[in-house]
Amino acid sequence: MSNSSDTSYSALIERWHMLTGTRLFRAVVMIAGIAFCIAVDTFDFVDLYLQLILIYVGINIILTVSLNLINGYMGEFSVGHAGFMAVGAYIASILTVHVFPPNAQNLLFPLAILAGGMAAALVGFLVAIPSFKTRGDYLAIVTLAFGMIVKSILENIDAVGGPRGLLGMEKLTTLPWVFFWTALSVWVIRNLVYSNFGRGVLSIREDEIASDLMSVNTRQVKIIAFVVSSFFAGIAGGLFAHALQFINPRMFDILKSTDILIMVYLGGIASIGGSILGAVIYTILLEILRPLGIWRMVLMPLMLVLLMIYRPRGIMGMKEIRMFVPLRDFVTEKLWRQKKKEAGDASA
């Protein structure tokens, strides 16, 4: 008896997976998300504090998914993600505060965010160069140093407020914008992962020398991974600056990078679904535990230690939610079945 209920349960799960993999399901999720975000933004029926948390959830998803490209898919260990975020935050803020005319802020906001992302991508390109020769722990040190450099430079430029920071941004980061950029980052990174270049990224994690010998241009792959990853970190930075309306260099130090790392490893490496879960759970849990005061910072790390002991690969490590696997991979499966059938027919 228990056996039959087991099979019906797993059949149910299988059907759920099939459902989440369909185009219709994705469309429903997207439309519901957009509708919710626009409704919240126009009718203001959700508490402002909750709205801010939702915005942070979105920003953290972008940061986690983009860092997972380097740490999870490529298997390197970058601890300088907050540095890219800082570049995006400062460039976008400088544009909206000092460059763009005050009456066209809303219109030009996406441009500022995009510029922040581009600037971060340019810096990401520079960080990719040492990764040609260094890897593992040594590359981690390079990214650590990079984070420190960004922070020191920002602290010493008076035009952006030095250590006091930069303010004067309007609150331009709205929920619909956050949804848009989050969806875009998830979509683009998923596209990358399930492409020739994404397979190149994975092969570098598995065995870099074998990858090079199998005709993968590892330098090209590393540049693409770092540029895309830092581009979205920059986007997240720009959104963050215009949600908080105040930034200073200390916000983007190693602790911020550590936060992102925790979300990546909590959710699971090499998984987009995992990254989203990790970012959502970590951000919301930190808020729920806020009443505990200083004990929060004891409880959270303790939970992480337990997670690493009982689920060392994170919640979704190396697994993917069907929703984030492109339909074409089902086409692959179909093609495979079809070929097998043809071969069977020919031999029969």
Q: Which stretches of the chain bind other proteins, using CB under 8 A?
A: 188, 191-192, 195-200, 202-203, 205-207, 209-218, 220, 224, 228, 318, 326, 328, 331-333, 335-336, 339-340, 343
- Residue 262's CB: how many other CB atoms inside 10 A? 17
DSSP conformation class of 246: E
CB of 331 to other proteins, least distance (A): 7
CB of 209 or CB of 309, closer to other proteins: 209
CB of 162 or CB of 326, closer to other proteins: 326
Instruction: Please give the Cα distance from 247 to 86 (Å, whole number).
Output: 9
CB of 339 to other proteins, least distance (A): 6
CB of 50 or CB of 184, closer to other proteins: 184
CB of 325 to other proteins, least distance (A): 13
CB of 60 to other proteins, least distance (A): 22
Would you say 263 and 66 are in contact if contact means Cβ atoms under 8 Å apart? no
Would you say 87 and 120 are in contact if contact means Cβ atoms under 8 Å apart? yes
Contacts of 237 (CB under 8 A, 6+ apart): 84, 85, 86, 87, 88, 89, 90, 92, 116, 120, 252
CB of 29 or CB of 214, closer to other proteins: 214
CA atoms within 13 A on the CB side of 12: 6
Measured torsion, CA atoms of residues 174, 176, 182, 184, in degrees rounded to the nearest 10: -130
CB of 196 to other proteins, least distance (A): 5
CB of 320 to other proteins, least distance (A): 12
Contacts of 262 (CB under 8 A, 6+ apart): 278, 282, 304
Least Cα distance to 282 among 301, 299, 263, 269 occurs for 263
CB of 1 or CB of 346, closer to other proteins: 346
Strand, helix or coil at 238? Answer: helix
CB of 13 to other proteins, least distance (A): 19
CA 4 to chain centroid: 40
CB of 62 or CB of 224, closer to other proteins: 224
Strand, helix or coil at 195? Answer: coil
Least Cα distance to 257 among 277, 276, 230 occurs for 230
CB of 311 or CB of 339, closer to other proteins: 339
